[in-house]
Each structure stands twice: as C-alpha cells, then as structure tokens.
Amino acid sequence: MIGKIIDMNETDAFINFEDGTTMDISVTRLPKDSKIGDNVDISMGSSLSSSSTSNKVIDFFI
C-alpha cells in the first residue's frame, strides 16, 4: 500500500496511506535512507502485528 512518511524518529515512522489511514510502523520496514515526506510502498502482509491491523474488540476476563 502506498503511503507518505509524515513523521519519524529513530525507531518508528508514521505513514499516512492513500485511503486516509495512518499507521505507526518500525523504521526497519522502510527503504534505507527514507525521510519525512517520502512516498513508500508498505506490504500489509503477516509481518504486521494483529494489534495494528485489527479492528476487533478484545475482552479481558479477570
């Protein structure tokens, strides 16, 4: 999915995708020497954690 880097630090980058969603991903998933303002193509494969891609409600029972 194509997105633009809108902010980043040493460990994370915030990507704004074409569909309007924004996601925080590890900079290790970005092309080398990426910087704020660059357009990047991020694979939405299974390497993303389920918590960052799921909209399911989770109940915790104690």
pLDDT on residue 42: 87
Is pLDDT at 28 greater than 80 in this prediction?
A: yes
Taking residues 36-40, what's their average pLDDT? 96
DSSP H helices, 1-62, are 50-53
- Max CA pair span of the chain: 46
Instruction: Give the whole-number percent of the chain exceeding pLDDT 70.
Output: 71
Residue 7: strand pairing partners = 14
Q: Whole-model pTM above 0.85?
A: no
Token pair in block for residue 44: 């939405």
pLDDT, residue 51, reads 41
Going by their DSSP bridges, the two strands 2-8 and 22-26 should be labelled as unpaired
Mean predicted lDDT score pLDDT of the chain: 80
